[in-house]
Amino acid sequence: MKSLHIHMEGQVQGVGFRPCVWHLAKEHQLKGWVSNGPDGVHIEIMGEEGNCESFQKSLMQKIPPRARVIRHTVREATPGSWTDFQIRESVSSGSPNLLITPDLGLCEACRQDTLGPHNRRHNYPFTTCTNCGPRYSIIRKVPYDRAQTTMDVFHQCPECGLEYQAPEDRRFYSQTNSCPKCGVKLMLHDAQGKLITSDPAEIIQRIIAALADNKIIAMKGIGGYLLLCDATRAEVVDLLRSRKHRPTKPFALLYPSLEMVQRDTFVSRAESEALNSVEAPIVLLKARPGISVAMQSVAPNLDHLGIMLPYTPLMAMLMEQWKKPLVATSANESGSPIFYDDEQALSQLQGIADYFVSNNREILIPQDDSVIRLASNDQKIILRRSRGLAPTYLPHPFTQRTRNWLAMGSDMKSSFAFLSKGNVYVSQYLGDLENYQTQQSYEHTFGHWQNLLEIAPQRIIADKHPVYFSSVMGRRLATDLQVTLTLVQHHEAHFAAVLAENHLLESPAPVLGVVWDGTGWGDDGNIWGGEFFHYENSRFNRVAHLSYFSHFLGDKVSREPRLCALSVCRNLREAEKLLRNKFTEREWRLYNQILMQPDLMKTSSVGRLFDAVASLLGICDKSTYEGEAALYIETLASRYTEEATIKPSPVPFSPVVAAKSVIQQISAGLPPERIAYQFHADLVGWICQVAKTQGTHKIAFSGGVFQNALLVRLLKKYLGDSHQLYFHKQLSPNDECIGLGQIAHCYIHRKMKAAQPGQLKEFELVPN
């Protein structure tokens, strides 16, 4: 007889791991037990040596589909007196060291249970099993057990209890198991907060009647409230825009089925798989002519729509009867984070929503829907990493264990990251930290993580920007905790993040980093955003950048592309006829006088150059959301159908050169689609020139500009055969990746310092 103790680490809780182990142990005629602990899953088996060996092989081959094992250890154990194999009560003592399972989209079996007229969960909006349902959004502490989640107040009825104990049932040890008798209650309130009904079937009928009457519904989901309205009627979509103060930013859509999505949009196999995946993100898809939705109201001036399929039972119930696309956008005020608290939603959304659909299951961690797009079948671009994708990061990109580092991230598209006990966590998208409510959400989520994993940071890493909220908070935490504060330059953090994602931190060959975005504090005191870095022997060197142009009027310049155009074209007489009518007489005189001042801050931002070109083309002079102008240029360029006629310009690239080219093409009467496409091609040509100068064959890309699918596709077209191209995989190229990049940068710097003591300068501040 042999007795073994097996410790499984990784994303192994909330995924049906213990039931899987139980079945395998029975199959291999073993005795013993399996239990959750704060550091993973522990297994003890006893049986014939051959059976123990075959069990171990089967375990690694047949782990649940949502499980991710990153480490496992096996040791001899003292034989016990077990008579069978059991699932033991979880052990909560000890230091937490666990990867947190994201919220999982509705599985097909639970969908059938919810919609099946003869199933006892028919019309139950909170049907779940071990394969689907909330996880991250409801967990208070580890290990993951019902008592540690917001499901603890719902006591299972006898029927649910039998399922929970039945090995043949897919709800065997399902911690979110419930039904209409014992589970979560759905409620419908009017705009004043008065309860109308708690009957789910009646609620669905009333919602459908309200939607048909052009009403706006606030509906509580897994990560927060969504605002719903009929996407086929321009009048109600425009009403939602007016109430929400969101004039042009596109709305996401919820469709009843993939078949209807395929009728309205062009959908590749990879996009279909993404829509139907357990992560259930919003996927950007190109609209077909004659689409059923009110396209100009839903996504003004764009050709793509952000679409998702029902990922909760409540959504499935609603869409099964509504049978048309709905606007399904995060319920918030413009610029604020998603509302998830019931009282807050009722008070803050009055005047926006006509009805409220809520429930009595508490959400601990708010999350927006994740958003992705595909530049090609094999190149996914994550635009927002949140529900279904956050917070665990796998596989681990670092070869050495380092304990308890906290990276504060950036202020735009904020998220923070932990490196703790050999695991990496990157929080969900938390929004732009210029907003006070977003700052509160950032601090709330950070506090939850500290409590969840009992993390006491031993090093804090922040952006060099002196007044970023995240950096100020990092300095305060470092002082309070008396730990080291390390500052990392914004664009080097971007580059380090994409290196880490592609396991290039220890690459023996040099890597060229192309980091293009809207803004970031540069080492010379200017605003960077069009940067090229050379990485070799663990060293980052800035080797090229977009030529500087004036950055004036503070944040106003990022909201008004016409100001970027004025700055870039300041000495171009031929630009005046395109720009003059964009300003009043007073503005024209004042802004030109300001631009003559010698001590203006400069910028190398490619994001701002996109703004300038958008204004020159007459498609955006004042933006209402971040990245709007760039999105319009990409949309315009994507409409050009004669790609073979365009080649990158061989002329050295600069803002002035780009502006002159655009102006000349406009004067020649060329169509704006062609001009926008040529601008994209010239940007790729510039990268080709720098790569040739540097002699590098590995090129890695980061920064918000590379959310542009056309640009990524052109990079592959012109550089894919001659160079190895690396893009982000699990993180967005926008500032959501900064936290991981800050950790990666610090990790490499520490390794260098250990290898070459006394030879390196380290940007560290040690509180007194």
pLDDT digits (tens, 9 = 90+) for 435-474: 999 999 999 999 999 999 888 899 999 999 999 999 999 9
CATH number at residue 641: 3.30.420.40
pLDDT tier for residue 94 given thresholds of 50, 70 and 90: confident
For residue 616, is it within any domain?
yes
Q: Given this model, what pLDDT does residue 766 score? A: 41
Question: Which residue, 544, 471, 558, 531, is CA-closest to 738?
Answer: 471
Q: Given this model, what pLDDT does residue 758 score? A: 53
Q: Given this model, what pLDDT does residue 348 score? A: 93
Query: Residue 44 corresponds to which amino acid?
Result: E
Say what angle helices 313-322 and 108-115 make with each other, to 10 degrees.
Answer: 60
Domain-terminating residue out of 39, 68, 87: 87
**Is the pLDDT confidence value at 619 over 90?**
yes
For residue 256, is it within any domain?
yes
| C-alpha span between 623 and 618 (Å, rounded) | 12
| C-alpha span between 198 and 27 (Å, rounded) | 45
Residues 313 and 344 in one domain: yes
Please name the residues in contact with 683: beta carbons below 8 A apart, sequence gap of 6 or more: 606, 653, 711
Residues 669 and 564 in one domain: yes
**Is the pLDDT confidence value at 756 over 80?**
no
**Is the pLDDT confidence value at 1 over 90?**
no
**Is the pLDDT confidence value at 597 over 50?**
yes
| C-alpha span between 98 and 452 (Å, rounded) | 10
Query: Residue 507 corresponds to which amino acid?
Result: S
The helix/strand/coil state of 207 is: helix
Question: Which residue, 710, 658, 682, 683, is CA-closest to 516?
Answer: 683
For residue 249, is it within any domain?
yes
Query: Which residues are bridge partners to 660 per DSSP?
Result: none
Range 372-398 average pLDDT: 92
Residues 432 and 461 in one domain: yes
Enclosing domain of residue 238: 186-372
| C-alpha span between 346 and 339 (Å, rounded) | 9
Looking at the whole model, is its pTM more than 0.75?
yes
Whether residue 611 contacts residue 683, with contact meaning beta carbons closer than 8 Å, is answered with: no
| C-alpha span between 41 and 38 (Å, rounded) | 8
Q: Given this model, what pLDDT does residue 156 score? A: 98
Whether residue 545 contacts residue 492, with contact meaning beta carbons closer than 8 Å, is answered with: no
Which tokens is 174 given? 């399902």
The helix/strand/coil state of 520 is: coil
The 10s digit of each residue's pLDDT in 279-288 is 999 999 999 9
Residues 331 and 241 in one domain: yes
Q: Hunting for tokens 């779940």 — which residue is that?
A: 128
Q: Given this model, what pLDDT does residue 767 score? A: 40
For residue 615, is it within any domain?
yes
Count of C-beta atoms within a 10 Å radius of residue 485: 22
Question: What percentage of the chain exceeds 70 in pLDDT?
Answer: 98
Domain-terminating residue out of 70, 87, 104: 87
Which tokens is 107 given? 């599985």
Q: Given this model, what pLDDT does residue 333 score? A: 81
Count of C-beta atoms within a 10 Å radius of residue 632: 22
For residue 105, is it within any domain?
no
Go through 52-69 and write b for each residue having 16 or more CB atoms within 10 A of its CB, e for each that does not.
bebbbebbeeebbebbbb
**Is the pLDDT confidence value at 716 over 80?**
yes
Domain-terminating residue out of 87, 112, 130: 87
704 secondary structure, DSSP code: G
- The backbone torsions φ and ψ at residue 588, rounded to the nearest 5 degrees and listed phi first, read -60, -45
Residues 325 and 202 in one domain: yes
- Alpha helices per DSSP H over 482-582: 490-501, 556-559, 561-568, 576-579
- The backbone torsions φ and ψ at residue 713, rounded to the nearest 5 degrees and listed phi first, read -65, -40
| C-alpha span between 28 and 77 (Å, rounded) | 18
pLDDT tier for residue 400 given thresholds of 50, 70 and 90: confident
| C-alpha span between 122 and 113 (Å, rounded) | 6
Q: Given this model, what pLDDT does residue 102 score? A: 97
- Round the CA-based radius of gyration of the chain to a whole number and report it: 27
Q: For the residues of 305-367, what is the DSSP string, one character each? A: EEEE---SHHHHHHHHHH-S-EEEEE-S-TTSPPP-SHHHHHHHTBTTBSEEEEESSPPSS--
How far is Cα of residue 169 from the mean position of the Cα atoms in its chain? Answer: 34
CATH number at residue 63: 3.30.70.100
Residues 744 and 720 in one domain: no
Please name the residues in contact with 519: beta carbons below 8 A apart, sequence gap of 6 or more: 412, 527, 528, 529, 558, 603, 605, 607, 608
Residues 574 and 699 in one domain: yes
Residues 496 and 566 in one domain: no
CATH number at residue 285: 3.90.870.10
The CA–CA distances, whole Å, from 491 to 470, 520, 532, 711, 739 equal 16, 7, 9, 19, 12
Range 270-297 average pLDDT: 97
| C-alpha span between 366 and 337 (Å, rounded) | 9
State the pairing for strand pair 217-220/355-359: parallel
Residues 573 and 710 in one domain: yes
Q: Given this model, what pLDDT does residue 757 score? A: 58
Q: Given this model, what pLDDT does residue 768 score? A: 30
Residues 71 and 27 in one domain: yes
| C-alpha span between 601 and 588 (Å, rounded) | 20
Please name the residues in contact with 66: beta carbons below 8 A apart, sequence gap of 6 or more: 11, 14, 15, 16, 101, 104, 131, 278
The 10s digit of each residue's pLDDT in 72-93 is 999 999 988 899 999 998 988 8
Q: Given this model, what pLDDT does residue 762 score? A: 44
- The average confidence (pLDDT) of the chain is 95
Q: How many domains is the chain built from?
A: 4
The CA–CA distances, whole Å, from 732 to 246, 407, 586, 613 equal 24, 16, 41, 24
**Is the pLDDT confidence value at 106 over 50?**
yes
Whether residue 316 contacts residue 127, with contact meaning beta carbons closer than 8 Å, is answered with: no
| C-alpha span between 486 and 460 (Å, rounded) | 6
Residues 411 and 277 in one domain: no
Residues 718 and 739 in one domain: no
For residue 534, is it within any domain?
no
CATH number at residue 417: 3.30.420.360
Q: Given this model, what pLDDT does residue 723 score? A: 97
- Alpha helices per DSSP H over 62-131: 108-115
Q: Which of 394-398, 403-407, 497-501 has the highest mean pLDDT?
A: 497-501
Please name the residues in contact with 651: beta carbons below 8 A apart, sequence gap of 6 or more: 657
For residue 641, is it within any domain?
yes
For residue 101, is it within any domain?
no
Range 26-52 average pLDDT: 95
Q: Hunting for tokens 């051959």 — which residue is that?
A: 50
pLDDT tier for residue 739 given thresholds of 50, 70 and 90: very high
Whether residue 449 contacts residue 415, with contact meaning beta carbons closer than 8 Å, is answered with: no
pLDDT tier for residue 194 given thresholds of 50, 70 and 90: very high
